[in-house]
Amino acid sequence: MKLFLDCEFNGFGGELISLALVDEQHQSFYEVLECPNPVPWVKDHVIPRLNQPPIQFKKFQSRLQIFLFQYEQIEIIADWPEDFALFMRSLVLSAGKCIRTPSLSMRLWMPDPIETHVASETPHNALADAQALKQSYLKAHGL
């Protein structure tokens, strides 16, 4: 199953704020984490668009594992490398322990900004951005 990934984070190289995964059949995962000290740009452009309250990181990880395990095999598609880094860090529970997942692969796919780009309905909202990425991908592949 293809899962389209988008993350919001606290400035360049910053901590994860929200993560969304949208599958080919319209199921989705979207959770928000605390961001106690957002950088000014994030405070103005991301925080107002989160649209749900934050949860604790352990609960986030538990919900992510439950979501991922509904699939036998996963291909995660993202359009920005940092999204993969944040997703992978989300899988780490502690030293030497991580969330078990189905077999997964990752593909960095950057849509053509003119030919296949589908604009997000709510820019800087990870769920809306992941949905737009999915639509761009489907459009580019004639699906």
**Which residue spans within the chain are E strands per DSSP?**
2-9, 16-23, 28-32, 73-78, 92-94, 97-98, 103-108
Q: What architecture (CATH level 2) is domain 2-140?
A: 2-Layer Sandwich (3.30)
- From the list 1, 19, 12, 14, the residue with the least C-alpha distance to 88 is 19
The confidence score (pLDDT) of residue 29 equals 99
- From the list 2, 9, 34, 4, the residue with the least C-alpha distance to 86 is 9
- Domain residue ranges in the chain: 2-140
Whether the pLDDT of residue 51 is over 80: the answer is yes
| pLDDT band with cut points at 50, 70 and 90 for residue 142 | confident
| pLDDT band with cut points at 50, 70 and 90 for residue 116 | confident
What is the Cα–Cα distance from 71 to 73, expressed in whole angstroms?
6
pTM flag (> 0.85) = yes
For 119, phi then psi, to 5°, come to: -70, 145
Residues present in the chain in total: 143
The confidence score (pLDDT) of residue 73 equals 98
The confidence score (pLDDT) of residue 105 equals 98
Q: What is the pLDDT of residues 63-105, one digit of tens each?
A: 999 999 999 999 999 999 999 999 999 999 999 999 999 999 9
